[in-house]
């Protein structure tokens, strides 16, 4: 108890805006597993086609890129708090709207995915901006460690609860109403909408400022930021699979949402403790060690999935994936934000210019990964794509380590020269 009290007191010592941002993101962490796991499962269950899941995800990422661009103009007129709240709230509404669609064809999935992405674009770009302005390089490990801890905890409880709920209520009569699987998903999304409203109310207590410089659209950048964009593309290349692959593989090889929730939940328990400890005790110099550990673990998971392609292979892959994601992000985001801090001073630009270009770096990586999966599915087979597309992108992502090391070293040199 004394240890928990000590951690609570440490949290209370943080800046008010940083605490509000963490609390808001903690609430949204209850929503994120639904977006990342069960939307893909819903599409897979209703279409039985992994390509449709990948197509939806591609449309979603296009929506993120589009609204990231629009967000730059809106920041000139509206407070970042309004835009961030809009992203949180609309993501819940968009998800509920998708669950009411009767037919899930390419047009319906494309529109639903783009709308969900549009909401996510407002959420993620403004989240980056707020985190950048309300943290510094010394406390970002703690910020992202605690945030990853929240996400890991919810990756335990939310999938377990939703998986059990969907498995138990589907096909049963309650209060005279017969629930099918689709009805169960709609009830889950109603809970999502309520949660997003509460998150917005918490966020509204913060006093957040917009960028001083209003210009944000640039096409030429310092070489250091160009390297960061390549790193973003490598991250994005795998990111699309992190959302779609677990749902597709579990429903294809295991066949039950309850199993999907159970596998995610068990693997999240270890991760939650690990990322909090790392975020609390790790220093900026430790980021690359955490980074490469996550990369290797994910690559091992994809190899086991490709070799076994069975229930056991899926379990190993999802375990590795759930541990990899927060480890990777715990190191990646502080590296990205420190690079923005340095390059924005060199080029004397609005920080949002780098957040926007970063989103496009992610988008090109995501598009490559998902199009690779679609291409392999149609040209060879869906099973081949599920086995080997993951191994290919995980292998390519190993190049992120030497690139991140180069970016970190160059940033150190620039900061050292500026301190003279």
For residue 3, tell me if it sits in a domain: no
CATH number at residue 189: 1.20.1250.20
Q: What angle do CA 25, 26, 28 make, to 5 degrees?
A: 60
Domain with 128, as residue range(s), is 16-206+220-419
The reply to whether 7 falls in a domain is no
Residues above pLDDT 90, as percent of the chain: 13
In a domain, 157, yes or no: yes
Output the pLDDT for position 86: 87
Of the two residues 115 and 262, the one the predictor is more confident about is 115
Whether 5 is covered by a domain: the verdict is no
- Domain assignment present for 213: no
113 within some domain: yes
Torsions phi, psi of 282, nearest 5?
-75, 145
pLDDT reported for residue 251: 67
| pLDDT tier, 38 (very low <50, low <70, confident <90, very high otherwise) | low
The mean pLDDT value for 18-41 works out to 78
Please report, to the nearest 10 degrees, the dihedral formed by the alpha carbons of residues 254, 260, 264, 266 taken in order: -70
Residue 173 resides in a domain = yes
What is the average pLDDT score of the chain?
Answer: 81
- pLDDT exceeds 60 at position 50: yes
Contact 62, 120 (CB under 8 A): no
The burial class, CB within 10 Å (0-12 / 13-18 / 19+), for 350 is buried
What is the tally of structural domains in the chain? 1
Confidence of residue 401 (pLDDT cuts 50, 70, 90): very high
Interval 289-311 mean pLDDT: 88
pLDDT of 328 over the 70 cut: yes
Question: Does residue 402 register a pLDDT over 60?
Answer: yes
Residue 270 has pLDDT above 80, yes or no: no
Q: How much is the average pLDDT of 62-71?
A: 90
User: According to the model, what pLDDT value does residue 230 have?
Assistant: 95
The DSSP secondary structure of 102-162, one letter per residue, reads: S---HHHHHHHHHHHHHHHHHHHHHHHHHHHHH--TTTHHHHHHHHHHHHHHHHHHHHHHH
**CA–CA dist 321, 141 (Å, integer):** 21
pLDDT at position 92 is 76
pLDDT for 157 beyond 80: no
What pLDDT was estimated at residue 357? 93
Per-residue confidence at 291, pLDDT binned at 50, 70, 90?
Answer: confident
> Is pLDDT above 60 for 260?
no
Question: Is the pLDDT confidence value at 51 over 90?
Answer: no
Which whole number is the average pLDDT over 207-235? Answer: 86
Q: Is the pLDDT of residue 85 over 70?
A: yes
Instruction: Indicate whether 227 pLDDT > 70.
Output: yes
pLDDT above 90 (res 299): yes
CA-CA distances (angstroms) from residue 376 to 121, 343, 362, 384?
Answer: 28, 39, 21, 7
Percent of the chain with pLDDT over 70: 81
Closest CA to 258 of 178, 161, 323: 161
- Residue 343 belongs to a domain: yes
The CA–CA distances, whole Å, from 47 to 43, 115, 195, 324 equal 6, 20, 28, 29
The pTM of this model reads 0.80
Q: Identify the residue whose tokens are 């990756």.
A: 155
Please tell me which residue, 274 or 294, carries the higher pLDDT value: 294
Q: What is the pLDDT of residue 122?
A: 87
The 10s digit of each residue's pLDDT in 361-400 is 999 998 888 888 888 888 888 888 888 888 988 899 999 9
- Strand-pairing partners, residue 174, are 177
Could you tell me which residue, 253 or 121, shows the higher pLDDT? 121
Specify the DSSP element, H or E, that contains 41: helix 39-47
């Amino acid at each position: 108890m004394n240890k928990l009290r000590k951690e609570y007191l440490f949290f209370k010592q943080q800046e008010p805006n940083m605490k509000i941002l963490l609390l808001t993101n903690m609430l949204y962490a209850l929503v994120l597993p639904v977006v990342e796991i069960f939307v893909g499962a819903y599409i897979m269950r209703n279409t039985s086609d992994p390509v449709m899941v990948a197509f939806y995800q591609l449309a979603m990422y296009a929506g993120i890129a589009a609204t990231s661009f629009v967000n730059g103009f809106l920041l000139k007129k509206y407070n970042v708090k309004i835009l961030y709240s809009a992203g949180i709230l609309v993501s819940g509404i968009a998800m509920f709207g998708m669950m009411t669609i009767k037919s899930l064809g390419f047009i319906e999935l494309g529109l639903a995915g783009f709308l969900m992405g549009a909401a996510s674009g407002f959420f993620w770009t403004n989240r980056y901006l707020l985190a950048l302005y309300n943290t510094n390089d010394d406390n970002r490990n703690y910020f992202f460690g605690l945030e990853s801890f929240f996400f890991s905890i919810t990756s335990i409880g939310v999938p377990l609860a939703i998986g059990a709920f969907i498995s138990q209520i589907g096909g049963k009569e309650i209060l005279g109403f017969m629930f099918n699987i689709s009805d169960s998903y709609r009830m889950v999304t109603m809970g999502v909408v309520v949660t997003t409203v509460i998150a917005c109310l918490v966020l509204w207590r913060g006093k957040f400022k917009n960028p001083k410089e209003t210009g944000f659209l640039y096409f030429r950048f310092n070489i250091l930021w160009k390297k960061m964009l390549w790193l973003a593309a490598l991250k994005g290349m795998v990111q699309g699979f992190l959302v779609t692959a677990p749902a597709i593989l579990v429903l294809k090889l295991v066949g039950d949402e309850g199993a999907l929730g159970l596998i995610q939940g068990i693997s999240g328990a270890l991760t939650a403790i690990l990322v909090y400890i790392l975020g609390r005790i790790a220093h900026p110099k430790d980021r690359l060690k955490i980074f490469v550990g996550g990369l290797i673990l994910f690559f091992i998971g994809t190899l086991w999935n490709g070799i076994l392609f069975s229930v056991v292979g899926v379990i190993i892959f999802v375990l590795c994936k759930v541990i990899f994601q927060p480890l990777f992000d715990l190191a990646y985001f502080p590296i990205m934000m420190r690079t923005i801090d340095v390059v924005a001073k060199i080029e004397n630009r609005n920080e949002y210019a780098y957040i926007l270009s970063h989103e496009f770096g992610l988008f090109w990586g995501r598009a490559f990964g998902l199009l690779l999966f679609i291409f392999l599915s149609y040209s060879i087979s869906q099973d081949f794509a599920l086995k080997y597309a993951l191994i290919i992108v995980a292998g390519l992502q190993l190049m992120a380590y030497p690139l991140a090391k180069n970016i970190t070293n160059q940033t150190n040199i620039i900061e050292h020269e500026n301190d003279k």
